[in-house]
Homo-oligomer: A and B are copies of this chain.
Amino acid sequence: MTPTPINLQHKLSLFTDQWSPKIIAQIDDYQFKLAKLQGDFVWHSHPETDEAFIVLAGQMRIDFRDGDVELHVGEMLVVPKGVEHKPCADSECHVMILVHEGTVNTGDAPENNLTADAGAWTD
């Protein structure tokens, strides 16, 4: 059976909730997720996995304890495991995220109202 192509815009059209990454594909033990971000997230880190952000639409900022990084459409960033960061977006930003399977979006922060289901697929 041939694998099925995944259309990123179509997958983005299937949900509207923000800060709630949806899994769209899995490669070995890692998962590609799509998320819509707006406002400020919480400070957190992922002790067990690096995390890649790829901006598909809009722009975002990732705050680190020693500086901020602006990310525009067509740009990506890898947050090393264990490094505290806080994603933010003034307007809604669409991103693709790559992390180890089972990674909770709020990482090591206490569970809060932004903590999402780490196993949520788009379909």
Interface residues in chain A, defined as those with a beta carbon under 8 Å from any beta carbon in chain B: 1-9, 24-28, 30, 32, 49-52, 64, 66-72, 74-81, 83, 98, 100
Contacts and interface: CB of A to CB of B under 8 A. Distances in A.
A72 B25 CA distance: 17
16 contacts: A1-B66, A2-B67, A3-B64, A4-B69, A6-B76, A8-B74, A8-B76, A9-B74, A24-B76, A25-B52, A27-B30, A27-B51, A28-B30, A28-B81, A32-B52, A32-B76
This chain: copies in complex: 2
Given A32-B52, A52-B32, A98-B98, A75 B27 contact: no
* Main DSSP-derived SS at the A contact region: strand
A119 B6 CA distance: 28
A9 to B, nearest CB: 6
Contact of A2 (B1, B49, B68): B68
Given A26-B78, A27-B78, A78-B27, A2 B52 contact: no
Contacts of A51: 27
Given A2-B69, A5-B69, A5-B70, 9 more contacts: A1-B66, A3-B80, A5-B72, A5-B77, A6-B76, A7-B75, A26-B78, A27-B78, A28-B100
